[in-house]
Each structure stands twice: as C-alpha cells, then as structure tokens.
Amino acid sequence: MSLASGPGPGWLLFSFGMGLVSGSKCPNNCQCQAQEVICTGIQLAEYPPDVPLSTRRLYLNDNRITFLPAMNLGLLSDLVYLDCRNNLIREVMDYTFIGVFKLIYLDLSSNNLTLISPYSFSMLSNLVQLNISNNPHLFSLNKYTFANTSSLRYLDLRNTGLQTLDNAAFQNLLTLQTLYLSGNPWKCNCSFLDFTIYLIVSHLNHPAYNYPTLPTPPSLRTSRKWEMKAWSHGCNLVKLDFGFKPCQNRVFSPFPEWLFLKIFSCTSSLP
C-alpha cells in the first residue's frame, strides 16, 4: 500500500490562505518564546486559538482537550514536537496530522482513546517517537496504523486495552529500536501466535539477560512468566518489553516454552 508522504498543493494553498488571516499572537494563559508554545495544565477544554504559525514545539499536556482539529494543526507546517499527554482525547481521526509532516515526536499517552483511525498517522513519515501508552479503552489497532511511519524508532503501547496485534502492522517499521507492549490484556491464543513469531523471526535472538516476558496460557500458569529477549536482525529493534519479571534463580530456554507449546497446539489443530 502506497501512502502520500506530504500534503498536496490544495492543502498547502488552503493553509496559506488561512495563514493570511491568522496572527502570531500567543494563546491566552500560554507561554510563547523561541518557536515554543507551552500551554501545560491551564484547563484547556479545546485546542487553543492563535498558536503562532512558526511554532516548532507545542505543549498541550495536562489539560481537558477532547479533540485535535486537523485544520488548526495543519497550519503548523514547521511543528516537530507535539505533547498531548494527559488529556481527554477520545479519537484520532484519519489525516489529523496531515499538515504537520515534519513532526518527529508525538505523545498521546494517558488520554481516553478508544479509536485511532487507520490513516491517522499516514503523513508522519518523519516521526521518530510515538507514545500511545495508558489508554486502557484502546482495544485494537488497524494493520495500516503505522504503514507510513517508516522513521519510527520508539513506540510505546503499554497499558492499553490491546489483546492482539496483526503482524502486518509492524512490517514497515524497519528502523524501530524500542517497542513497549507490557501491561496489556494479551490473548495468548493462536491468532496472537502469528504476531509473536513475527517479532521473533524478524527481530529477536538468543537472550543474555533483561528478559521481557510473555504470560503463559491458563493451563501453564504458575508463579512465573516465560521469558523472551529482544535482538536486532535486519531491523534495529534492541528492546522489546512484554512485561518484566526476574528469573529468581531459574534458567529458562532462550526460546520460550510457551511458544513451543502454543505452536504445537495451534499447528496440531490444523487440517
């Protein structure tokens, strides 16, 4: 699937026209200096007006914002850093970030996200760090969610409601170095097996220490978790976190016993 890498001429013309009637004021109760706008913790209920068009770093964290308007964000063509953590954002719609194609850092953690539309990040080919953690009502992600975030190095999906992931969702993340997946209610079933094997085959090797862990299925549940370690192969992934737990004087196989048993049980049920 091919996605555009930046906004088209029509969008740029529209943004220019909007810019003619937009001032370079500082939003009320915010602090503005050196292309940085700080609107942290001022009880904003919506995206602030009058954000200077030259803004490169925008802090909207710790407010009560429920929606990110693509039209307003699209005017900030030089924006590289956007912090929206700890708000009340429920949905991120397709092309929300269509005009901010230079964005490198995006934090949407600790919101009320229930939906991230498939093409929400489709224009963010320069994005390096993305944090969506602590959104417990985010139950699924479309396989195209990260299709064009090919520069992504850090992805945090901790403490969401995710139960499974399509392995196709990570196929274009060839520069990914850090992936956090702990604190999610994973369904360690046959469908999740495909995703697990994909991570291992694409990115993982034999561990030495600092093992991420994968919960065992109910039939194997004990006081411990089985271990897996991230490794770089073809890609640059060097840290994979399913949730950590010490080995406590036990030595486990580098390849988790859970995976052996699950492969056997899933493949034995095939015709």
Nearest Cα to Cα of residue 64 among 92, 37, 88: 88
Q: 56-83: per-residue pLDDT in tens?
A: 999 999 999 999 999 999 999 999 999 9
Predicted pLDDT at 182: 87
Predicted pLDDT at 233: 36
Q: Other CB atoms closer than 10 Å to residue 244's CB: what's the count? A: 12
Q: What is the mean pLDDT of residues 101-127?
A: 97
Predicted pLDDT at 65: 98
Kindly tell me if the per-residue pLDDT of 218 is higher than 70: no
Type of residue found at 70: A
Q: How confident is the model at residue 241 (pLDDT cuts 50, 70, 90)?
A: confident
b vs e for 91-125, b when ≥16 Cβ sit within 10 Å of the residue's Cβ? Answer: bbeebbbbbbbbbbbbbbbbbebeebbebbbbbbb
Question: In this predicted structure, which of 192-196, 198-202, 263-267 has the lowest mean pLDDT?
Answer: 263-267
- Average model confidence (pLDDT) across the chain: 76
Q: What is the mean pLDDT of residues 98-118?
A: 97
Kindly tell me if the per-residue pLDDT of 118 is higher than 90: yes
Question: In this predicted structure, which of 18-22, 129-133, 229-233 has the lowest mean pLDDT?
Answer: 229-233
pTM of the predicted protein model: 0.75
Q: What percent of the chain has pLDDT above 90?
A: 51
Predicted pLDDT at 263: 55
Domain range annotation of the chain: 25-206+225-233
Q: Which CATH number fits domain 25-206+225-233: 3.30.70.2500, 3.40.120.10, 3.80.10.10, 3.90.1150.10?
A: 3.80.10.10
User: pLDDT: is 251 or 120 the higher one?
Assistant: 120
User: pLDDT: is 38 or 203 the higher one?
Assistant: 38
Q: CB-side exposure of 142: number of CA atoms within 13 Å?
A: 17
3-state secondary structure 109-129: CCCCCCEECCCCCCCCCCCCE
Q: 158-185: per-residue pLDDT in tens?
A: 999 998 888 788 888 889 888 898 888 8
Predicted pLDDT at 203: 55
Q: How confident is the model at residue 261 (pLDDT cuts 50, 70, 90)?
A: low
Q: 2-27: per-residue pLDDT in tens?
A: 454 444 445 444 444 444 444 568 99
Kindly tell me if the per-residue pLDDT of 106 is higher than 50: yes
Predicted pLDDT at 160: 95
Report the distance separating Cα 258 and Cα 214, nearest Å.
8
Is residue 219 packed enough to be buried (19+ CB in 10 Å), middle (13-18) or exposed (0-12)? exposed
Report the distance separating Cα 263 and Cα 268, nearest Å.
8
